[in-house]
Structures are given as C-alpha cells and as structure tokens.
Structure 1
C-alpha cells in the first residue's frame, strides 16, 4: 500500500528532503570527527550513515562511539534532533496519518455495482435501525451513509449495508448510486438535511424524504429539494388530535405511509391494555406484533430512543412503524 495515496506528494518530498539532507550533513561531520580522533577504521560512508541512523533513532548499539568532547557534544545534538525529526515530524506527519487512513480505507466506500432501485439512508439512528429491519423483511435494497467511522463499524458488525462518507458531498452520493435509487432519506440535523437535499437534487431526480426536528424548518427543507418532510413530533400531535375527536376509533387513523407498505403511526396505551405496567423488554412488542417502537411519549416527554427498561403506563403513546397488519396487531394490544 503506497503512502502517496494518503499523504500529499509535496509533503512527502519535503519531509524526505529534510531527513536525507540532515543524514548527509551529520554523516560528513561524523567522518571528520572520526578522522580527527584517529578512528580510521570507522572513517567510511557506510559506517557514518549507520552511526547517524542508530543515533537519531536513539537505538545506539554502542559499537561505534565518538570519544572526544566535541564528538560527545555532536552525539547529543544528533540524538536531540533525531527525536524531533523522527517523533515530531516523521511519525505524526507521515507514519500515523498513513496508518489511520490506511485503516479507514478498509471501511466500505461504494455500493455493489448492480445495486439499483434501492433506498439511500443518510445517518444511522435508532429510528433508522428499526426501519432497516422492516426493509429487510420486505427484501428492499438499501444503503446507510454515515461519516462517523465508529458508527459505520457498528453497522458492519450488525450486517447492515453501509458506506463511509459525508452524505452532503456529491462524491459520496454518487458512490451510493443515488441516481438509480428509489428515494433518499435525510436523517441528520435540519441544517445537514438541507445540505444533503441540495446536493442530491443537484445530481439526481431521486425522491427525497427529509426528517425535521423543528416543524418551522419544513419549508426550508422543501426549498432545498426535499419532496416530503416528516416531523415525528408533528405526526404525534396530529394523531393525538384525531384521537381526542374520536377516542374509540378502531382503525389506523393518522397512519402515514413512510415507505411502500410501511406506515408510521402513534398509538396511545389505554388503561385496560395488557401492556400497562410492563417494561418494553417484557412486553416484547416486536416479536408479538411485528411492529417496531421507534419513539415513546410518557409523562409529557417524548423520546426517540426508548430503552428496554422503560415502563409502559396508561398515558404512554407509542410511535411505531410497520405494515398495516403489524400495526393492527399492535393496536389490539394498546386498548
């Protein structure tokens, strides 16, 4: 693996020139001192370079030694400058960046050549992970783009198709084959989603779905190129409003199709529900219904990251995703 792939060639040439120049200079000084000290057997270029290299790297085998006071002072100078060059320049400026970037290249950066009609998902979150489970069940192709190295490694560990890169950059989206994708989901902060939408719209006509933390940013995300803007908080408010008008409705009122055949909807938990008093882990909703809980409203606080230890109460509201059948199964458990 060539270092020049990862470090600018100008930098490599500069550092190499400095190091070689210093070694040559020190070698000639060494030759002069060995002759002055009468060490004729060591007065040759090979020994000079050998001594300079071992002294600069602080290895110092001790088989070749300068004995005069001037020679000892020169040895100290070579050691100190060697520490600066090797540990202050060579390692931090060339070796370590090379190793780090070489490791990063092991992260996936391209989708398979035959991937098409897939879903491009920008950033990994709990909502996305649950959404992916639904995509897998329906055998829908997808790829997650994330610029967090650790997040990508975690996705790889969980066998989730992903690539490493900034989803707001053209090159990354092209490597994700956004031009042949069914649609793109922007799932970062509102400002980042706007940049993603602008970039994606510049290079493709893919349908863009953007998540919005702040409802007031909806129009700006649309201006940026998003075809749809979803705000889970807004969806929750609309659903609860409909429930207030018709609290005993037996159908999936307020359900919004998030993907083909996959809906997102909110379910309040009623006092007589068998789920009341149980933790999410004990309730085991996903296994019992097939639906996924992506958020919870409890005690006036909404969380997009519900924990297994969260207790379900009669005033809990679930934000769930799934097919119509899966959500209907969940609805039966909440009443």
Structure 2
C-alpha cells in the first residue's frame, strides 16, 4: 500500500501526469454526455415515432448494449428512423467506446502508471552502511568491464544513471545503480561520496569537469579518476580537482607502439615488487630457432622465460618449447638482468625498419609520436588528408588514400616495414586489414586496436599478433590505481595473478604440479616469507604458505580453481595488475 501511495503521489505531483489525467477525465465526461444524449434520443424516437414507453434505465441499457456491440436483441426499433439511429449509435460506439477509450486509458493512465512503477524501482541512494565503494558516473564499455572485475574482487560499486527507467532496467540486470544526475551535489551525498574508495568520471571531458568540481565539494579527500578524450583537457581536469587523469586514447597509441617490432631489444612492459616483465621479439635475434633450454638465458642473464606470444596467444614456456622467428619472448627479472640481455644482442644491429600506421586518429597520432621518440620511421595511411597533416610534425611519411588499395600499400612499403599498427575504431575494418596485410607480407608483425571484446578471437584468426582494446586499457588502469600498483598491460585478456598455493599442490615440485600443461598459466615467481623468488626451476618446491605469481587469462584462472582448488567459487583470485 505504501508503494501504491508513492506511485499515486508521483502521478499527482508530476505536471505531465496531471495533464494526462485531466485529458482522460475530459474524455470520460464527454463519453458520459454522449451516452446520456443517446438515451434521451432513444426515448424520443420510441415515444414519438413508434408509440412505446420505456423506463430511463432501459434507455441507458439499450445505448450501452448497442455501443458495445453486444446486441442482445431484446429491445429493437421497427421504424426506419429508429434503425438509422441504431446505426449511428453502433458506429459511434465502436469508435468512442471500443477504440478511443482503451487507447486513452492505456496511453494517459496505464502506461504512465507502469512508468512510475518502474521509476520507483530504481534506488535513490546507497545503504547507509556502504563504505569503500567505487562510484561510476556513467555506464559505458569501461564501466561494464570494470564492474565485472570489481565483482570478482568483491569491491562494492554503484553506477549513477540519470534516467530512472534505465536505472530500473539496470537493477533488473543485476547492476548496482543509483538514480540521479551526475552533476548534482545531492547525488554524491546520496551515494556517500565521503566514504567511497574512488570516483570514476568517465563521461565527456566537459561533463567530467563539472562532475569533478561537484564531487570535490562534497568529498574533499575522495580520489577522483577522470578519463579524458582530448589531451588539452588534462590540465583542466587536474585544476578542477581530479586526483588522476587518464588520457586513454593517447595511452592506447603508446602501448600499441611499444608492441611494434622496433629492433632486437627487450623492453619492459610492467613491474611488480621489483620484478620486471619484459618482451623480446625473436625475429632477427640469436634465439630464433632455439628451444627455451638452448637459449641458456637463465645462465647468461638470470632472466626467466615465462611465456611465448605466438599468433596472439600466450603459451607457457617449457624447456623444450621451440622459439620461432614470429614469437615474442616474455621474460621476468630485474633491470640489470634485462640490460645484460640487451648486451648479448649483436653490436652491428641493422637500423629499425619503418612501421606502418593505418589510421590517423588520436590513437594513431599517439603511436606515431611514441615511435618517433624511439627513432623509428613512421609511414601513415588515412583517407583524410586533414587527419594525416597532424602527423607530419612527427616526421611521418604520409600516404593519403584507402588502405584497401593494394597499390597504396605497396607504395607505403608493406613489403619492407617491420610492423603494421591498425588504429582505426572500426573492428570490421581492422579485421579486414589484418587479413589483407598478412597475405601481402606473412612475416609482418601486426598490432591492432580493437573496440569490442567479442572480436578479439576473430582478429587473431585474421592474423593479428597483438591486440589491445580501449576498454581493457581503461579497466586495467583504474584497477591498478585502486590497488596502488604499477600498471602492466600484457595483452587482451591476459593478467597477472597472485594465488596462494592450494593444499592439492603443497609439497610438490613445480615440474610435477602440471600448472602449465593443464591450465596454460605461466608461473612467473614464488612469494614466500615476504621474499619474491624469480629464479624458478623444475625442482622448486611449492611450500604450503607460499604464493604463486602467474600469468594467464580469467578463463585459465577459473580452470586452475576447478583443477587445484576444487571449487569454481575461488576463481576470483587476486589480480595484481
């Protein structure tokens, strides 16, 4: 009853709803007047034309029976005048009673009532005991991916949604949401911003500025992370009070550039407690064609080979695993060990070959600048000469036109470049170009941006060697800030986990564990008594209280839980990066 009263109060208090109710009432009164007029006309015709007397109840009864087309036939006219009148009453009844009345009732009362009921389902505030939660100011691709990860790590969150109907739908989908405007101070009071763990401003740059200023007034100490589209907005958001500003498209371009083949040298892609993760393209190195054991990298440098990227898949590095020329070696160690590895490379290295960038948007422009800092020549293709002009300052060689034109690709050096970076925001186009470039140059390293996670497998099958999406980068960036750890982007779907050694593996040797062969995960390090051991061998024992640091995907993590932890409920694991 309380819920019905709140609905009625909303209908009465809403101006549009009040107008609808007035219109419906006017129609009902008009319909009653017409029925009364027909009842009077019935008596007039019966008395003056056919000479019959009937009661007033009979007049209303006949009118309603005819207008509703029930047609009992117990009272009829015998004169032509009466029958003509019956036709008029019947036709008007079909329109006014059977068509217009239901339409008016549904559109002016029932539909608004249902909408009100849905609106009132959306929560207006978080529970008073809520603390340590993450506030998301918009439900987009980054928020969706982040929510999945927050659920895994059991971190509470709430999405601010201005449309109550959309908010109610999100509640039905199991998403924690609060109905309210993201630029209203009342919203941040109702979401308990002062007790929140973080606020993510993931709207447009101008809206994010308003959000930051508003939230900062309510919660002066709240960590606010703002995602920006334009680099020029970074300073504005910082001045507005944002704790951290993430220019994701700029960062995406840099990460794609770091995955291009720019010479025989290992480059660091992340770190964890002094442990550095690095990648080394095997092409044109002394390791191509050798097994992991034959590289003797651990003996020479102290580095551990923890995985092999091949055709977009990260495989465990077993001693007998063959390192093909198209493989990227994933290594773990410290800075001095990585420097020792780079010193092993031949001193007379050939200059890095050019890199071809297809797509001159924000991501492509950022990639070109990152490659310029490395001294790598960039060739750029885009249909828009205006977009290409911005890359001229970075020393790029410009090729305006359609990348699907083979003559243009030949002219841009598709057969001579070391890598192709596909930076368009169209997944279908990137998949198409990946197939085309792979056919034209099978030895090419193809690095691609992707928008939708569902297309990751397709673009890998098309020939891409490395794929990274805007969403994944955004999710990983926010999570790293939540944990206070350094950002490590291994690739689409690949993460770094720390997992306590389960009882089923306690006391076993690493070689006997079957972790790599049964799950596909790669053991990077073993943490015990506060010390991180990176030099692991087949004989390394897995002690009871130790923690495994492993590379893998969420699916592989779940498989590990099923095989070794005996329950899929533990598949959450603690993400490190």
> What TM-score, normalized to structure 2?
0.43
1:209 aligned partner: 225
User: Does 2:70 align with 1:61?
Assistant: yes
Structure having the higher helix fraction is: 1
Question: Given the superposition, is the C-alpha separation of residues 116 and 207 from structure 1 closer, same or farther in structure 2, using an over 3 Å criterion?
Answer: same
Cα-to-partner distance string for 1:145-178 (whole Å, 9 max, x where unaligned): 2357568746753x44333444234444343222
Structure of higher CA gyration radius:
2
Rounded Cα–Cα distance in structure 1 between residues aligned with 2:95 and 2:187: 44
Output aligned runs, 1:1-335, within 5 Å. 1=4, 4-7=8-11, 8=14, 10-11=18-19, 13-38=21-46, 40-41=53-54, 43-44=56-57, 48=60, 51-52=63-64, 55=67, 59-63=68-72, 67=77, 68=82, 69-82=84-97, 85-147=100-162, 153=169, 156-157=172-173, 159-205=174-220, 206-236=222-252, 248-250=266-268, 252=270, 270-271=281-282, 274-278=308-312, 299-301=421-423, 302-307=449-454, 308-309=456-457, 310-311=459-460, 313-314=464-465, 316=467, 319=473, 321=476, 327=488, 330=496
Report if the CA contact (8 A) 2:312-2:465 is conserved. Answer: no
State the secondary structure of the residue aligned to 2:452: coil
Structure of greater relative contact order (alpha carbons < 8 Å, 6+ residues apart): 1
Distance 2:239 2:119 in 1: 35
In the superposition, relative to structure 1, how do residues 116 and 50 fare at CA in structure 2: closer, same or farther (>3 Å)? farther
Secondary structure, aligned partner of 1:120: strand
Which secondary structure does the structure 2 equivalent of 1:209 belong to? strand
What's 1:290 paired with?
none
- When residues 100 and 270 of structure 1 are mapped into structure 2, their CA distance, relative to the original with a 3 A threshold, is farther
Aligned residues: 306
Alpha-carbon shift at residue 135 of structure 1 (Å): 3.2
Q: Could you say if the C-alpha distance between residues 139 and 74 of structure 1 is closer, same or farther in structure 2, counting changes exceeding 3 Å? A: closer
CA contact 2:136–2:199 (8 Å) conserved in 1: yes
1:184-240 deviation per Cα after TM superposition (whole angstroms, max 9, x unaligned): 101123233234334434544333211112222223334544332211223345667
> Residues 34 and 43 of structure 1 are in contact (CA less than 8 Å); yes or no, is this contact kept in structure 2?
no
Moved more, 241-250 or 222-231: 241-250
Quote how far apart the aligned CAs of 1:20 are. 3.9
Measured after TM superposition, the shift of residue 316 of structure 1 is: 4.6
Change (3 A) 1:72 1:269: farther
Q: SS where residue 229 of structure 1 aligns?
A: strand
Q: CA deviation at 1:94?
A: 2.2
- Give the unaligned 5+ runs of structure 2: 47-51, 284-306, 317-362, 368-419, 424-448, 497-521, 525-550, 553-577
Asked if 1 retains the 8 angstrom alpha-carbon contact of 2:66 and 2:90, the reply is no
**Does the C-alpha gap of structure 1 residues 304 and 168 become closer, same or farther in structure 2, counting only changes over 3 Å?**
farther
8 Å CA contact 1:66–1:75 kept in 2: the answer is no
Instruction: Quote the offset at 1:142 in angstroms.
Output: 1.7
Unaligned runs of 5+ in 1: 256-260, 284-294
Q: Once structures 1 and 2 are overlaid, which stretch shifts more, 307-316 or 18-27?
A: 307-316
Distance 2:54 2:145 in 1: 74
Structure 2: distance between partners of 1:78 and 1:124: 49
TM-score between the two structures when normalised by the length of structure 1:
0.69
Distance 1:77-1:5 versus aligned 2 partners, 3 A rule = same
Greater alpha carbon shift after TM alignment, 237-246 vs 61-70 = 237-246
Distance 1:300 1:107, change over 3 A: same
CA distance in 2, matches of 1:213, 1:269: 31
